[in-house]
Amino acid sequence: MTVAPTSLDELCINTIRTLSMDAVQKANSGHPGTPMGLAPVAYTLWTRFMHHNPANPHWADRDRFVLSAGHASMLLYSLLALTGYDLDLKELQDFRQWQSRTPGHPEYGHTPGVEVTTGPLGQGFGMAVGFALAEHLLAARFNKPGHTIVDHYVYGICSDGDLMEGVSAEAASVAGFLGLGKLIFFYDDNNISIEGSTNLAFTENVGQRFEAYGWHIARIDGNDLDGISAALEEARAETRRPSLIITKTTIAYGSPNKAGTAAAHGSPLGEEEVELTKERLGWPPEAKFFVPDEALAEFRRCLDAGKQLESEWDARFASYAEAFPEDAAAFRSAIAGDRPSGWEDILPKFAPGDNAVSTRVAGGKALNALASIFPALVGGAADLAPSTETLLKDYGSVGPHEYGGRNLHFGVREHAMGAITNGLAIHGGFIPYCATFLIFSDYMRASIRLASLMQSHSTFIFTHDSIGLGEDGPTHQPIEHLASLRAMPGLRLIRPADANETAAAWAVVISTSGPTAMALSRQNLPILDAPHDVVFEGTKRGAYVLADAGNSQPDVILMATGSEVQLAVAARATLEDEGIATRVVSMPSWELFAAQPQAYRDEILPPAVRARVSVEAASTFGWERYVGDAGVAIGVDHFGASAPGGTVMEKFGFTAENVAQHARDVLARCREGGH
Amino acid sequence: MTVAPTSLDELCINTIRTLSMDAVQKANSGHPGTPMGLAPVAYTLWTRFMHHNPANPHWADRDRFVLSAGHASMLLYSLLALTGYDLDLKELQDFRQWQSRTPGHPEYGHTPGVEVTTGPLGQGFGMAVGFALAEHLLAARFNKPGHTIVDHYVYGICSDGDLMEGVSAEAASVAGFLGLGKLIFFYDDNNISIEGSTNLAFTENVGQRFEAYGWHIARIDGNDLDGISAALEEARAETRRPSLIITKTTIAYGSPNKAGTAAAHGSPLGEEEVELTKERLGWPPEAKFFVPDEALAEFRRCLDAGKQLESEWDARFASYAEAFPEDAAAFRSAIAGDRPSGWEDILPKFAPGDNAVSTRVAGGKALNALASIFPALVGGAADLAPSTETLLKDYGSVGPHEYGGRNLHFGVREHAMGAITNGLAIHGGFIPYCATFLIFSDYMRASIRLASLMQSHSTFIFTHDSIGLGEDGPTHQPIEHLASLRAMPGLRLIRPADANETAAAWAVVISTSGPTAMALSRQNLPILDAPHDVVFEGTKRGAYVLADAGNSQPDVILMATGSEVQLAVAARATLEDEGIATRVVSMPSWELFAAQPQAYRDEILPPAVRARVSVEAASTFGWERYVGDAGVAIGVDHFGASAPGGTVMEKFGFTAENVAQHARDVLARCREGGH
């Protein structure tokens, strides 16, 4: 086993190693080996290279650090606590305990200095690409000759597991294509996965693969501090390509019996082995969570250095603000996420007499209108910009070393698109959106979930939202997707029924934080025949009375979302003609509706009216919540079919007459049953 | 534009091109350009190289063809109809129409000769890897010196889009690692994606990337028939590596105004352009769906050739059967999916007094027991075999050129794992399973959906199925996943409550077709205190009365799944003590229960008993279906937390007392409300 090069460096590195061992041992759960192997890399990066200010983890131009291998969380917590972030060293002793700030995997918004939530492999890698893209986009927008106010690196550490995941492959291809020179990843090449040696499943030539993507590659020994520094210098000097530093490490370095084995990956080393390891590392074997004063002092130099770095940046920014006051204001505004007053007025309005228009087209109009006053709006599609109507028509594309545009081309890489969008949203400075067909939300579901968990301001535009898309058939027709997205905590799903509801959906995106998913139609939909305010404001509340019963109390309530609202409206006309008092509730968003006061909800869906029919061209799963025991949900509980959209809709029962018939039946049953 | 080399070849190739154009034009929907560009490759492959018998698309040792670029479906339909499969040429005229056998994307089980459903990009590529793996596994098991009965290739065509997807990257790495020499893919390198040139987002060096995975690479001009043949010969000669033939094609070859443009990708060429193209191809411009007799005759030679090939194989198999009668019987049995009589008896039984055991461990025991009598059972995990308890202990691993084992090591590649499992299932000869944590079902959701759509006999084992997993925290704790899987049509989800229910879940897998997902606990669960038959047979019906009310009619029904059934049992004891007649229904599978006759369902959940409480440590989304308006669902409608599992469960309300209290409240409300 090699010996670390200098005494103080060794002491610091072994402090990280022993803290990690101790915390995992005390929790009796966690991953000790990876922090131990990576300690020299992390120590060098955090104390010698990274521009960060532990006293202000929100400094806009700080370097970002992403631990994509989130299971090595004790590495990050050790660094945060040692370098002086608002995380007391004592909190390391509560690793993985209820309500501690040192949970099993790093959680954004939960622990100061944690830049993103990681753990699901590959996601951190993808978000880091988003961070680096954000830096390049901001630099292109705001830097001026002689005035560089955006200039930070994105450093990351990824594992074998990260690089086996498809999402990282997609993201690496995007980063290589765009030439994101500020992105520098260490790849922890430790030859060990949970099942054993990586020879069991992972023998590809990672360096060659990343070269194929257009990355710069370096290869180092993870215990050679000079080599680590040299590789970092080289990577920073490479401005036109992202860098992958392939770092040979030994998992559980220092452990006499478990170093280099899968046993050290996901389980504590055991009390005895911890002691043996401490001995080997020249540590007092019985001391727990021991931090030598000299080591702490060395780590804490980051505090002074960080203050110095930020104040230098402040000075640069002040000089910039003097020379370019409008740009400086725009920068501040972008980072703060300001909204110009009266912004909602820019949204297009549609009148009932206007031509029918698909909600995807309406969405494109709203998006383009907003883009004209929100420079922060950037985004793109997974090779479906024309179909999803998400091109910003007055702006250029982002391409290799061309970062002035606003249209992103993600390629057919939905998963990386989701992760990159999350990274853009969390970096600050942007309101990012991304788009594909609703069916392909399946490909990026892990990223949508992470957006929901982090409450990142990510917007997911999903078009072709039902069997109504027609000919592409069951492989492309979403069925269970609305239910699946509604079941996800923290995500807001909006399925607008017409162009005005779509504009309102965009108003919700702009006026809220957290992620929003939109489900938009391929097919044209008539403009709903109701006052604009009713539709627009009603959409923001998630559900509203679009057309009320002819007399005060409805006999039956028809509720619907998206393209099926028109069927409810048509069915209502028939039913009213028959003397059945019928209310139509348009219900674009369950989550927005659920957040309304009980009084509002009871006003829209009076508990006394139990004859209820829902209509949605999707799985009925979950609709019992709103139709209740007496009601019926019209939907599609099987896969779709390839045929023109109108045919498929009709064959599967989406006709006004079928809705009316169900309403009659429900009402009859309620009357018989005494409901 | 180059001219095709021979007159008859040119005629045949242009027949495919014009049929594709005409069908898309008539449907006024579809993708004409790709079939036109790929026609020479497909023609050469299907008529000169592929061993197939159009008269018997089920011949076990046929070469498989996978059109991963499923949007080019007219290429496949043209080939099927022209070479003489049971698809009349007239059916091409119903392309993308209601109930036709020529839907928008190829559908397995719907059109004779379609080997897998494709369309969602990358899935076909992954399933083809599964096909090739199946071939290698079967060859290792059954071929004998001098007797080769398993010897077929897997040919595929993939597009830029397929290769941008992460799932194909993962699958390519697996195929390269394993050295699947029988896998040969054409990569349609046409420089065009939906948004425009691939220069917009895809400039990586695909050949270099695949070399890094361990593939053999060839580069050809897609219009050079000799080059196509030479590349195929070379790829077939390469037995130790899969082959990628990078094929330069021109999208919409022959179209004077749209060739080589994105306009020809996803829209009809237009009547006028179709005519102009026909002129250019030397075709009668006004003739539609025209098939020259000479061309048809040439294609139909596949019929005789195919009969000859299959009869030669029959002879080889007869000789094999004579020399190795037991192996021959085993081969037939594997392909037919036979089950030995009394197989269910092999499943382990657990008694109420036995030690508590996690359902993941119980699942491992059941799986290993079955493996001893079902040689067809093969599978593995996404680097989580130890955690998911899915190792077949008495069998070896599958590795590079070592295909005799039964444990597959997928690496941290969930998505490819799903696709490869589907491929194994559909190929025939295997009952494949795959495993990961339930949370990571998100990474492979598109493959689970395809399994459900195809009704492939794929088994997905998802362990660590709730917040009960504890310390790993919210990134690893599934919340919405049970609901999301239940919402998917065609998928059977089983969440067993104890070891006997888990064994029954495996009995369901073996005795049914179609896909099954299992949700299994990390934590130990007591053996349910009920007769084995009640639990075992009850599980197969999806829900059953585990413990009935003290008197004949229950006051309240507690229903639960998985690890929460024990809470319902404990709550029942308290409630019964208080004089509240309480039934506990264990409900491991909604789908199995929904498939029971109404009488059975009403017996288990009597409609008259409206005081109902469900308990499941997951999103309550959808539970209204069973608890009804009067009931209450106890669940988790927010993200989890990092802490020991027992703590998280308790803090989130999963205690017997909380269940009992909800039951009292519900019952009181029902009595007040007159329910």
3-state SS string for B468-512 = HHCCCCCCCCCCCHHHHHHCCCCCEEECCCCHHHHHHHHHHHHHC
Give exposure, B180-194, as e/b (b: 16+ Cβ within 10 Å): bbbbbbbbbbbbbbb
Residues making up chain B, counted from first to last: 675
Residues making up chain A, counted from first to last: 675
Token match 């095709």: residue? B4
* Relative orientation angle of helices B123-142 and B445-454, to the nearest 10 degrees: 70
Token match 């709903």: residue? A528
List phi, psi (to 5°) of B28: 55, 40
> Are A622 and B619 a contacting pair at CB < 8 A?
no
Whether the ipTM is more than 0.95: the answer is: yes
Looking at chain A, which residue has its C-alpha nearest residue B72?
A: A472
pLDDT at B25: 97
Residue A38 to residue A25: CA distance in whole angstroms: 18
Confidence of residue A195 (pLDDT cuts 50, 70, 90): confident
Residue A277 to residue A271: CA distance in whole angstroms: 10
Torsion of CA A660, A666, A668, A672, to 10 degrees: 180
Strands B243-248 and B377-381: unpaired
Chain A partners of B638 at a C-beta cutoff of 8 Å? 489-490
pLDDT at B5: 36
User: Tens digit of pLDDT for each residue in B170-188?
Assistant: 999 999 999 999 999 999 9
* Model confidence at B199: pLDDT above 80: yes
Distance from CA of B293 to the nearest CA of A (A): 31
Instruction: For chains A and B, count residue pairs whose Cβ atoms are closer than 8 Å.
Output: 349
Full-prediction pTM beyond 0.95?
A: yes
Catalytic, out of B170, B275, B310, B414: B414
- Measure CB to CB from residue B201 to each of A97, A266, A383 and give the nearest one: A383
> Are B475 and A96 a contacting pair at CB < 8 A?
no
Q: Which stretches does DSSP call E strand in B45-153?
A: 64-67
Window B:181-210, CB contacts with A under 8 Å: 193-195, 200-209
Residue B298 to residue B5: CA distance in whole angstroms: 16
Distance from CA of B91 to the nearest CA of A (A): 14
Token match 């700030």: residue? A101
In contact, A488 and A433? CB cutoff 8 Å:
no
Q: What is the DSSP letter of A194?
A: T
> Are B212 and A200 a contacting pair at CB < 8 A?
no
Q: In what order do the strands lie in the sheet with A632-634?
A: A544-547, A582-586, A556-560, A612-615, A632-634
Give exposure, B108-132, as e/b (b: 16+ Cβ within 10 Å): bebbebbbbbbbbbbbbbbbbbbbb
B561 three-class SS: coil
Window B:312-371, CB contacts with A under 8 Å: none
- CATH 3.90.1300.10 correct for B343-519: no
pLDDT at A674: 58
User: B179 — contact with chain A (CB < 8 Å)?
Assistant: no
A211: left (phi over 0), alpha (psi -120 to 50) or beta: alpha
User: Tens digit of pLDDT for each residue in A132-167?
Assistant: 999 999 999 999 999 999 999 999 999 999 999 999
Among residues B218, B239, B240, the alpha carbon closest in space to that of B229 is found at: B218
pLDDT at B4: 42
Burial class for A394, CB neighbours closer than 10 Å (0-12, 13-18, 19+):
exposed
> Across residues B262-287, what is the average pLDDT?
94
Distance from CA of B610 to the nearest CA of A (A): 10
Residue B499 neighbours by CB under 8 Å, 6+ apart:
B348, B350, B354, B357, B359, B361, B362, B365, B525, B527
Report helix, strand and coil shares of chain B as percent, to nearest 5.
45, 15, 40
User: A379 — contact with chain B (CB < 8 Å)?
Assistant: no
Chain A partners of B453 at a C-beta cutoff of 8 Å? 474-475, 639
Residue B7 to residue A577: CA distance in whole angstroms: 69
List phi, psi (to 5°) of A55: -75, -15
User: A645 — contact with chain B (CB < 8 Å)?
Assistant: no
Residue A218 neighbours by CB under 8 Å, 6+ apart:
A231, A234, A235, A243, A244, A245, A246
Q: Which stretches does DSSP call E strand in B335-457?
A: 357-358, 377-381, 407-409, 431-437
User: B112 — contact with chain A (CB < 8 Å)?
Assistant: no
**Average predicted confidence (pLDDT) for chain A:** 96
In a mutagenesis test of the B interface, which of A206, A261, A383 is the best target, namely the one with the most B β-carbons within 10 Å?
A383
> Across residues A266-289, what is the average pLDDT?
95
Residue A319 to residue A307: CA distance in whole angstroms: 18
Token match 């402040």: residue? A314
* Model confidence at B3: pLDDT above 50: no
> Across residues A351-362, what is the average pLDDT?
97
In contact, B664 and B580? CB cutoff 8 Å:
yes
CB neighbourhood size of B657 (10 A): 12
Distance from CA of A572 to the nearest CA of B (A): 25
Among residues B115, B76, B69, the alpha carbon closest in space to that of B92 is found at: B76
> Across residues A518-527, what is the average pLDDT?
98
Residue A581 to residue A579: CA distance in whole angstroms: 6
Residue % of chain B over a pLDDT of 90: 96
Chain centroid to CA A305: 32
Chain A partners of B160 at a C-beta cutoff of 8 Å? 412
Rg over alpha carbons for chain A, rounded to the nearest Å, is 28
Token match 């004790």: residue? A74
Q: Which two tokens stand for residue B206?
A: 């695909």
Q: Which two tokens stand for residue A158?
A: 């990824």
User: A595 — contact with chain B (CB < 8 Å)?
Assistant: no
User: Tens digit of pLDDT for each residue in A363-397?
Assistant: 999 999 999 999 999 999 999 999 999 999 999 99
A253 three-class SS: coil
User: A608 — contact with chain B (CB < 8 Å)?
Assistant: no
User: B648 — contact with chain A (CB < 8 Å)?
Assistant: yes
Among residues A636, A645, A625, the alpha carbon closest in space to that of A479 is found at: A636
Residue B486 to residue B591: CA distance in whole angstroms: 8
User: A671 — contact with chain B (CB < 8 Å)?
Assistant: no
B187 three-class SS: strand
Report the amino acid identity of residue A136.
Answer: H
* Model confidence at A673: pLDDT above 80: no
Chain A partners of B619 at a C-beta cutoff of 8 Å? 487, 489
User: B115 — contact with chain A (CB < 8 Å)?
Assistant: no
In contact, A550 and A581? CB cutoff 8 Å:
yes
Listed by start position, the domains of chain B span 8-306, 343-519, 535-672
Question: Domain A535-672 class?
Answer: alpha beta
Catalytic, out of A414, A501, A564, A616: A414
pLDDT at B1: 40
User: Tens digit of pLDDT for each residue in A400-450?
Assistant: 999 999 999 999 999 999 999 999 999 999 999 999 999 999 999 999 999
CA end-to-end distance (rounded Å), chain A = 79
> Across residues B73-90, what is the average pLDDT?
98
CA end-to-end distance (rounded Å), chain B = 79
Among residues B522, B515, B538, B541, the alpha carbon closest in space to that of B593 is found at: B541
> Are B174 and A488 a contacting pair at CB < 8 A?
no
Chain B partners of A203 at a C-beta cutoff of 8 Å? 177, 214, 400
pLDDT at B674: 58
Q: Which two tokens stand for residue A270?
A: 């055991």
In a mutagenesis test of the B interface, which of A68, A168, A180, A209 is the best target, namely the one with the most B β-carbons within 10 Å?
A209
- Specify the CATH superfamily of domain B8-306: Thiamin diphosphate (ThDP)-binding fold, Pyr/PP domains (3.40.50.970)
Burial class for A1, CB neighbours closer than 10 Å (0-12, 13-18, 19+):
exposed
Residue B33 to residue B17: CA distance in whole angstroms: 9
Distance from CA of B161 to the nearest CA of A (A): 5
> Are A211 and B208 a contacting pair at CB < 8 A?
yes
> Across residues A84-97, what is the average pLDDT?
98
Q: What is the DSSP letter of A377?
A: E
Residue B65 neighbours by CB under 8 Å, 6+ apart:
B45, B46, B50, B52, B76, B115, B155, B156
Domain B8-306 matches domain B343-519 at the CATH topology level: yes
Residue B394 to residue A329: CA distance in whole angstroms: 69
Rg over alpha carbons for chain B, rounded to the nearest Å, is 28
Active site residue B312: no
In contact, B526 and B356? CB cutoff 8 Å:
yes
User: B442 — contact with chain A (CB < 8 Å)?
Assistant: yes
Q: Number of C-alpha atoms within 13 angstroms, CB side, residue A496? A: 38
Distance from CA of A400 to the nearest CA of B (A): 9
B228 three-class SS: helix
pLDDT at A2: 39
Residue A667 to residue A627: CA distance in whole angstroms: 12
* Model confidence at B551: pLDDT above 90: no
**Average predicted confidence (pLDDT) for chain B:** 96
Distance from CA of B416 to the nearest CA of A (A): 8
Chain B partners of A412 at a C-beta cutoff of 8 Å? 121, 160-162, 164-165, 193
Among residues B528, B592, B542, the alpha carbon closest in space to that of B359 is found at: B528
pLDDT at A550: 85
Chain A partners of B383 at a C-beta cutoff of 8 Å? 161, 164, 193-195, 201
Residue B625 to residue B493: CA distance in whole angstroms: 16
User: B166 — contact with chain A (CB < 8 Å)?
Assistant: yes
- Measure CB to CB from residue A471 to each of B27, B409, B414 and give the nearest one: B27
Residue A308 neighbours by CB under 8 Å, 6+ apart:
none
User: Tens digit of pLDDT for each residue in B397-433?
Assistant: 999 999 999 999 999 999 999 999 999 999 999 999 9
* Relative orientation angle of helices B166-178 and B206-213, to the nearest 10 degrees: 40
- Measure CB to CB from residue B384 to each of A29, A194, A637 and give the nearest one: A194
Q: Is the dihedral of CA A191, A194, A196, A201 positive or negative?
A: negative
> Are A70 and B639 a contacting pair at CB < 8 A?
no
pLDDT at B6: 55
User: A133 — contact with chain B (CB < 8 Å)?
Assistant: no
pLDDT at B7: 87
